Amino acid sequence: MRIEILVFDGVDEMDVMGPFEVWSHASRRPGFEMALVGLDGPTEVTGLHGLQFKAPEGLGQPDALFVPGGGWMNRAEKGAWAEARRGEVPARIAELAPSLQWIGSVCTGSMLLAEAGLVKGRAATTNRGAWAELQTFGAELKTNRVVDDGTLVTAGGITAGIDLALYVVERELGADVADGIAGAMEYTRDRDVYVSAG
C-alpha cells in the first residue's frame, strides 16, 4: 500500500508530522510505503507555524491519500481555507477519490474532503471548531477521535492524526504492528474510534 500525504503552504505541521512518523515506521514493512507530495510536483512548504520542509514528489496515483488541515477556522491566507477557495485541491481530490482504497484526513483537512463532495451522507469528523461547518456539507458528524466510514477515514484535531495513522496501520498490518509502533514512539494510543456498520 502506498499512502501519499498531500502538503501545501499553511498546513498544520503536527497534522503532517504525526502521521508521517507513524507511517515511516510502518514503511519498514514490505508492501507499505508513504510519501509527502505536492499538488503539482515536488515543492517546499512553509507550515502554519513557520516550519519549512520539502515534499520530494508530486501527487500521483496512490492507493490512499491523506489530507491534513490548518488555517481553516481563522480563514488564513495560506492553508486549507485558502486551498479550498483556490479550488485546485478539492478538484484533484474529487478526481482521484474513486480510484483510492481509502481517503483520509485530520483536523480541517476534512473540510477539503467536504469541498470535494466526499462527506455527504458519510460519518466523519474534524477539528471541534469546525464541527458545525462540516455538518453543512451533509456529513453525519461523529465526535470520536477517529471515524472509519470504510473508504473515508477522518480524525479530529491535530494530534488525532497520530491515532488515525496507527488505526490505519492496525487495519492494514495488524494490531501487533500498530501497538509496536506506538511503543517505539512512546505514545499511548487513544482508541476512541467510530466504525460505521457495513
Q: Along the chain (198 residues), what's the average pLDDT of each consecutive run of 10 residues? A: 98 98 97 97 98 98 98 97 98 98 98 98 98 98 98 97 98 97 98 92
CA 150 vs. chain centroid, Å, equals 14
pLDDT at 128: 97
Report CA-CA distances (Å) from 98 to 29, 77, 116, 128, 195. Answer: 26, 30, 12, 28, 21
Grid coordinates representing 64 are: 490512499
Task: Give the domain extent around 33.
Answer: 2-195
The closest of 135, 122, 139 to 196, measured between CA atoms, is: 122
Model confidence, pTM: 0.98
Q: What is the CATH number of the domain that holds 72?
A: 3.40.50.880
The residues assigned a catalytic role are 107
Q: How many domains would you assign to the chain?
A: 1
